[in-house]
A and B are shown apart, each in its own frame.
Chain A
């Protein structure tokens, strides 16, 4: 048993951008929309353990311990994803007591670097409509 050690940096970065608007073009109508975009990355750069630990031969059997499979990785433990969402909503007052709402939501998650939990890509949309009665 033994080990090799070196100092490394694990970097995580995320950018989020969003824009939304709300309008009331006529007294009975409310419109709103929101768009958001997020990109996240994380990794260790340039993994390079110095040299192979040792070669051991016992009872005619040789065991080599080598970092070949992980040395030289430009980005080790690499994670990257993009997520964006768009939501649009409209609310119309048919009368003072009765209103109609329509809502549409779209979300998309793109997994750029599949890792521990497999590929996590996904898309979803929802179109909702409901009437509201007040009294």
Chain B
């Protein structure tokens, strides 16, 4: 990046020297150059909070370089800017306009984000009985590593208007985003104890968007076709973890091989990968049409189709850790329509509708069967139990959604405007039964808002919205296993039983549903702007929201949130301005806390 910085600064200096040759009374350019430096000190146990987005403070000193240039002459307009603090904190941009026929724009931004390091020390639990070892413990393999990601984004846009065909234009957008650095990856094994581990993972991800479009306007109608191709590449490390060897507490010490089919995802010696991030691609087509109709009517219609694929799932390994033998994909299409009618000078009505459909790939999961001598016969546990543990994973993305929104705006008085809104959304989840979630959800939202100027210098906006959700999204039997139900199913604790599988005796005896989606929401907002005198103005804002769900089969919840504040600007004399303010945030979430335990 030093080379880039040198080039950019050189451009500013050369432009400056070239432009200084112009006659002084016709000055088509403005140039500004800043040069300086900083001294810094960072005294930290952990800099991730005090300097979360500040990379330069980590150095004792750094350069400050900046510049702006603008140039306008005849049919050419150009402007550019640049700011540099250090390699991980810089921004550049430029715009070029050639007679409004060709317009180019480019922007680049780079910054550093310090991340937290979870020391895992809170993951330590054991039974109350003396002499019992840990049933939950941890290992942080890279305890001294600091985590952070450098993020950068480069955006480019080109627009070409065709003078010979008025109304026709082409645009081309490009976006390149990078994430580089190191983050923490965590995983756990669960066997005779829960063992959570943390490892450092090198991150090197890029996202590339290519987005050409064509626009055409003829009279009152405008049309647009937009194509986007996105590729995401993860060059990141894939950490590996050596999971605990299968241990069977029921057998004598040293006899640790006969754990058989209970360790389902893998039964080989050696490490297993975790925290994998797949490469992916997305293609999207969008067609839009807008029309200005007589009597102040506007209509718009659009159609979108997109497909996203996971390019790393086509290995023929085990689907239990991401290799499905084919590229997994999500297909999406949507139809949007809207109508806006300006009834008269005081009233306007807007109606919008949308239908969307999403479908994703199914995955056949072939659970690895290991063979053992069971009841005197060499066979798999599946054969012995008469069960087939293979299954098809149906996607939770498969859904249809219909939505309708209506808004009515009314300028009831010269200084009072009201707006009324109603929204309806119906969501149908096609594979709900496989994921034990709600089949379909209907959401209705009623809203009323106002903008009022009761006296000169005072503006008040007040909004209220009520949302009612019929059958909100719920995960059935999500938590709180029942000891009584497990026994009723025949579970015999403390014994080595070939019947002890999780889906039946642990997940299968969970008794409580869980949802973080509300059934009702009351949302109230108030803002005021008041110019008390010519020297004092104030802003007050308040937001109060009550959400609850009393339809979760015993694990109901309620949340109250309040956020409010005051800001005052005081200008006693023209040469002095004072600004002060206060903000208060409060949130109370009441819900069931279930502490579960597992008995081997």
Contact = CB atoms under 8 A, between A and B. Distances in A.
Interface in B568-600: 574-599
19 contacts: A1-B506, A3-B594, A6-B592, A11-B586, A16-B582, A19-B580, A56-B599, A58-B495, A66-B127, A81-B49, A117-B116, A120-B48, A123-B50, A124-B40, A124-B50, A128-B64, A129-B37, A130-B34, A130-B37
A18 B506 CA distance: 52
B46 A118 contact: yes
A122 B40 contact: no
A7 interface: yes
Nearest to B47: A122
B596 A2 contact: yes
Nearest to B30: A134
A123 B595 CA distance: 38
A80 to B, nearest CB: 13
Interface in A114-135: 115-135
A96 interface: no
Nearest to A36: B581
Contacts of A61: 494
B379 interface: no
A134 B32 contact: yes
B127 A64 contact: yes
A53 B484 CA distance: 12
Interface string B88-132: 000000000000000000000000000011110110010111001
B46 A122 contact: yes
Contact of A63 (B56, B127, B592): B127
A21 B37 contact: no
A54 B30 contact: no
A108 interface: yes
Given A1-B596, A67-B595, A127 B34 contact: no
A18 B509 contact: no
A69 B124 CA distance: 11
B588 A11 contact: yes
A59 B486 CA distance: 19
Contacts of B43: 122-124
A102 B45 CA distance: 28
A117 B506 contact: no
Nearest to B578: A21
B493 interface: yes
Given A117-B118, A122-B42, A130-B64, A2 B127 contact: no
Contacts of A17: 580-583
B585 A6 contact: no
B512 A64 contact: no
A67 B173 CA distance: 58
Contacts of B587: 11-13
Q: How large is the interface on B (under 10, 10 to 19, 20 to 34, 35 or more residues)?
A: 35 or more
B119 A117 contact: yes
Contacts of B479: 3
B36 A8 contact: no
B57 interface: yes
A128 B590 contact: no
A5, A20, A22: residue with the most chain B Cβ atoms closer than 10 Å: A5
Interface of A: 1-25, 44, 47, 49, 53-54, 56, 58-59, 61-70, 81, 83, 101, 107-109, 111, 115-135
Contacts, number: 240
Given A2-B486, A8-B590, A117 B128 contact: no
B196 interface: no
A13 B39 CA distance: 35
A13 B585 contact: yes
A56 B598 CA distance: 12
A69 B574 CA distance: 63
Contacts of A125: 40-41
Contacts of B57: 124, 126
A128 B575 contact: no
A128 B483 contact: no
B36, B42, B121, B125: residue with the most chain A Cβ atoms closer than 10 Å: B36
Contact of B118 (A15, A25, A116, A133): A116
B50 A109 contact: yes
B41 A124 contact: yes
B401 interface: no
Contacts of A20: 578-580
Interface string B477-514: 00111111010000001110000000001100100100
A124 B42 contact: yes
A124 B47 contact: yes
Nearest to B589: A10
A59 B492 CA distance: 11
Given A10-B589, A64-B127, A120 B580 contact: no
A77 B71 CA distance: 58
B242 interface: no
A54 to B, nearest CB: 7
A18 B129 contact: no
Nearest to B63: A130
Contacts of B129: 62-64
A2 B580 CA distance: 54
